[in-house]
Amino acid sequence: MSQWHIFGAGAMGCLIAHRMQQCELPSTLLHHHKEPVEKIIIDGHVETHLEALPLQTLAHGSIERLLLTTKAGQVQSALALALPYLTKNAIVASTANGMGFEKAAQNSIPNHTIHRAISTAGAFRVSADRVRVVSNGTTRMGLPGSSLPSPQWFNDSLQHLSAWHWESNIEQAIAVKFSINCIINPLTAELTCRNGELLDRGVAKPELKALCEETQPALIALGLWSEEEDLLATVVSVCQSTAQNNSSMLQDKMAGRLTEVEFLNGELLRRAESLGIDLPLNRALLHSLR
């Protein structure tokens, strides 16, 4: 079985490396710093130690399977760093949220295709070297623009991870995740609250309701959301099931890191502008969180 190299030792990278270790899948956690570092994963009452190795300690042309777990804004630069280490037929996948980074990312590795993984798993960095697991969630992987069944490299490795599934229509999964993230992530970051705090006794607070009412027609016009589905009801359900979660955007804001707002609400605004649709609430959130 070929080894997976997980590039990006943040919360998501550590969580996936931890799950691979539990399933005894060959994997190596990588980062772009010069020295190895130890990461501690807190999963319930159990602490597990992982080592993250510098990318440059690998031999060129040695990565057969790369799972990139950086944020959307870091995908292009991370792929450029990883390119010399990829084999000719390397499998490449990204867990980044949002849209609008895909073309630049693909241009970074023109001889490889980039698979996408969309996850509802939750983890957050307690400190620089400690990550706490919040929820296992579900992870779906697929190749945009393709409806092929699950390939052998997925079946012999990632399929063995809990709640990982191959998605033949990954574009739809990306669009749904994008739509929901455009609501929950910026609002929780702006209000500095957990997902569940966007609700009051199970009912959407005014800010949540207003943002959904503004955003849903634009998402439908852009082909990113179904007319048959109520965005507010879906978002409320997600907030209920992830009530104790801090969104990734809130975590980034609290840590002083760049958020993914440019690849969520920023990308939504760019696409909506091409149709002449004005989204003042989304624009206000974008400007506030930049």
Burial label for 228, CB within 10 Å (0-12, 13-18, 19+), is exposed
pLDDT in tens, the chain (290 residues): 689 999 999 999 999 999 999 999 999 999 999 999 999 999 999 999 999 999 999 999 999 999 999 999 999 999 999 999 999 999 999 999 999 999 999 999 999 999 999 998 888 888 989 999 988 889 999 999 998 899 999 999 999 998 999 999 999 999 999 999 999 999 999 999 999 999 999 899 999 999 999 999 999 999 999 999 999 999 999 999 888 888 999 999 998 999 999 999 999 999 999 999 999 999 999 999 98
Structural domains of the chain, with CATH: 4-168 (3.40.50.720), 173-289 (1.10.1040.10)
Residue 182 CA to residue 261 CA, distance in Å, equals: 8
Residue in 264, 269, 230 with CA at minimum distance from that of residue 248: 264
User: SS3 for 261?
Assistant: helix
Report the distance separating Cα 235 and Cα 241, nearest Å.
10
Residue 247 near residue 185, CB atoms below 8 Å:
yes
Nearest Cα to Cα of residue 114 among 7, 21, 248:
7
In the beta sheet, which residues pair with residue 165?
140
The rounded radius of gyration (Å) of the Cα atoms in the chain is 19
In which residue are the tokens 């993914």 written? 260
Active site residues: 177
